[in-house]
Chains A and B, each alone.
Chain A
Amino acid sequence: MIQIMDLPPGLTHYLVVGALLFVLGLVGFLARRNMILMFLNAELMIQGVALNFVAFARHRGNLEGQGFVLFLLAVAACEAAIALALILVLYRTQHSLDVSLWQNLREEGLEPILDEEPLPLSPLEEKSPSLTVAGPGPAQPEETSHV
């Protein structure tokens, strides 16, 4: 450790930071069960990988790694959009962000694994104000001019 710290900043430093980011994300992904936090951890892993790419690109003096990172960012943006939409839908059905409530993909005939310490359900939120009942629209002043 000390030896690394003594070195001038180079490839190894970047790689270590990237690996730390990735492992942090991985541990977070495995340990947390709030879907939004899991998603954030996944993003963290992606960033770790992206850092590796950039570090290698600089080390080798070409732009291939940079190109990859651009793609990565685009994919991550799309992923964020889809993932947040999915999480929203799931939340609406169960009123919870707990991922362990979703075990529907298990093998047929297996008992679901019971959560001994479930996340507290969030209180039912108020319903959005509803629109007026559909019916004939309000009377409009008749068009006077026909162009």
Chain B
Amino acid sequence: MFEPAAIALIPLLPALAGALTLLLGPKILKQQSHWPLIIACVGSFLVSLLGIHALTSPTLEIRQIVYQGGTWFATLGSNPVSVGWDFRLDPISAMMVPMVLFLATVIAVFSIGYMKDDPAYPRYFGVFSIFVAAMTLLVLSDNIVLLYAGWEGVGVCSFLLIGFWFQKPSALKAARKAFMVTRIGDVGLLLGILLLWSGCGFTLQIPTLIEKAKLLSDEYLYLAGFLLFIGAMGKSAQFPLHIWLPDAMEGPTPVSALIHAATMVTAGVYLIARFLPLLTMSPDLLLLIAVIGGITAILAALIALTQNDLKRILAYSTMSQLGYMFMALGAGRSDISGHSLVTFAMVAAMFHLFTHAFFKALLFLSAGSVMHSMGHVIDLRRIGGLRTVLPFTHIAFLSGALALAGVLPFSGYWSKDEILVALDSASHGPNRDGVYKILTWLGLITAGLTAFYTFRAYFLAFWGEVKIPVEALSHGQHGHENDHGYASTHHEVNHDPYGSVSDPTKAHESPWIMTLPLLVLVPAALGIGALFGPTHRMMDFLGSAPGFHADHGDHSASKWVAMASQVFGLGGIAVAFLLYVAKPGMAVSIRKMAGSGYNLSLNRFYLDEILTILFVRPLQILGWLIQALDRELWDRLVDAVARIPAWLGDKFRPVQNGLVQFYALAMALGLTIFLVFLAFGDRLFR
């Protein structure tokens, strides 16, 4: 039988592993620092599988296993705050946890090869373990403050891992940017939590909160939900708080795979899905979520079209897919017959989250493998024709790309299809049909763009003539004696920044410790959609979550979008093939034709610059003013006061002239004054 207390083991094991690695790593474990993490992840993974088994047993009436492990902290008084170690395994978290742990294990194994010879090897695995602990805590917690603790925990680990190579100024800057931007979202989330807490009788248990919040007024609900969504926007890189995610690619690639593609950035989707039964009470909010998701999806896809950095393309693609998920969540309203789409929308979003985690992790790891073999160069202008040089990586990347593009039997198709069906069903609702109609088409166009930019990257990197950058030869897979953190300095050493050699015999495929995780992920990325989607397993499982109802409604009216998405996807691939393989010259002429549109996309629609002018500059000016005030006024005042004793001392210093008789005279005079005071004092100072 499954003991509920075992749920607490899931975050506990990685936390212990993290503490162990960080304490013992630098002195004792050294290059063996990955073992605690891997053992803990496998252990937690097995526990979570047991948990799922218990969860699906037919004897269970409500599909949840709750464990309350005592109080963490509590305050008394009329507005009590009581935060306990409360964990809840329900279908939503039971889907997330094994996914997180499986990917964490695979990526940890990949990291053994990728981070080999890094001087900070123990730190990497220590923070990695803490991240896994925080992420599972976030997913499993039944208490919203505990969830917030996990939420902040993953944020800190993300910060630490983006800035892992802190010797690089760009990595430092990216880490700070990520932290600051997500902080805006986190403040929103905290305010939302406080609003819900004070509005719902000071409870912090998530299910109670959702039940009680349904009685709140519309405005209150809208505001609280909006604040929660702000938190989700920050964490999940939704427009306009998305600017940190592309920069976050400064971190080690396995980190990008786990944190900035598969798990942490989906925390926002998870949060909104968790609270969806509550948010459906406010159709305006749902519309807002869907529109923000739609804007992010199309915007990121447009930016990804022209980027030259393989990892950035994947980062924008992640953003775009997250936008998809939010679009799906926003579709959770009632359709025309009054039939609530909430479960369907939640399942569509979570299903896409699930499949996306696998194929995006695969894509990122493939990119990491390319980087590893190419001497940390992933500029698509400098690499090419790698399919013969890196055969395993090629297969892995192709599988991931097919899944992401949503080609028919593969994962992405099934989950993207659900989202589009949800959107189309929502567009037959009682009002605001037009917006959802537009969003459906936006989704379809995005699907086409996704297929195009994914295969553009694929063709540029793996087809065409063989191009291998010189860095690949100077420190290929054997010669990693120099620190990864200084990889960027090679651009300065190399006089021709786009220099490349075409001798493929010198470059090597990554070692087996890196290709093995890739090959493990390939079937997962390709097949997991077909395994859970068309068989309705995902719907049955997630639909049984408390607060939702399995929805096998008839969506045949929306089946056209499946066909359409297939047309758009294959069309995108075909265009990419045409432009980058069949007629390579055409891409250049189209670029010239597009002109400013191309520049707009290449420069990320100048959103970074716009946000800098709108928010960063005014704050900088304010900061500058405060600093000037502090330095010029207050500091000077304080300094002036501090100078008084020094000035006095300077005046009295000549008294110490070393002449014995002068001292004696001073004593005599002092004595005289004292005596006069004693004798006549009461008359002088009455």
Contact = CB atoms under 8 A, between A and B. Distances in A.
Contacts of B660: 99, 102
B483 to A, nearest CB: 52
B449 to A, nearest CB: 79
Contacts of A113: 657, 659
Contacts of A104: 658
Nearest to B656: A107
Interface in A2-48: 26, 29-30, 33
B668 interface: yes
A50 to B, nearest CB: 18
A132 interface: no
A30 B664 contact: yes
Contacts of A30: 661, 664-665, 668
Given A29-B664, A30-B664, A30-B665, A107 B657 contact: yes
B659 A103 contact: yes
B664 A110 contact: no
A90 to B, nearest CB: 11
8 contacts: A30-B668, A100-B659, A102-B660, A105-B656, A106-B658, A106-B659, A107-B654, A112-B658
A34 B274 CA distance: 99
B651 interface: no
Contacts of A102: 658, 660
A110 B656 contact: yes
Q: Identify the interface centre among B653, B660, B668: most chain A CB within 10 Å of its CB.
A: B660
Interface in B651-686: 653-654, 656-661, 664-665, 668
Contacts of A103: 657-659
A106 B657 CA distance: 4
Contacts of B665: 30
B668 A106 contact: no
Contacts of B656: 105-107, 110
Q: Contact residue range for chain A?
A: 10 to 19
Interface in B353-406: none
Given A30-B661, A110-B657, 18 more contacts: A26-B668, A29-B661, A30-B664, A99-B660, A99-B661, A100-B661, A103-B659, A104-B658, A105-B656, A106-B656, A107-B653, A107-B656, A107-B657, A107-B658, A110-B654, A112-B657, A112-B658, A113-B657
Q: Is the interface of B mostly helix, strand, loop or mixed?
A: helix
A27 to B, nearest CB: 9
Contacts of A112: 657-658
A113 B657 CA distance: 8
A113 B654 CA distance: 11
Contacts of B664: 29-30
A114 to B, nearest CB: 11
Interface in B632-662: 653-654, 656-661
A33 B661 contact: yes
Contacts of A33: 661
Nearest to B663: A105
Contact of A105 (B653, B654, B658, B668): B658
Contacts of A110: 653-654, 656-658
A107 B659 CA distance: 11
Interface string A77-120: 00000000000000000000001101111110010110000000
B661 to A, nearest CB: 6
B647 to A, nearest CB: 16
A95 to B, nearest CB: 19
Contacts of A99: 660-661
Contacts of A105: 656, 658
A34 B665 CA distance: 16
Contacts of B653: 107, 110
A106 B660 CA distance: 10
A39 B380 CA distance: 98
A99 B663 CA distance: 12
B353 to A, nearest CB: 76
A57 B231 CA distance: 91
A103 B662 CA distance: 11
A94 to B, nearest CB: 14
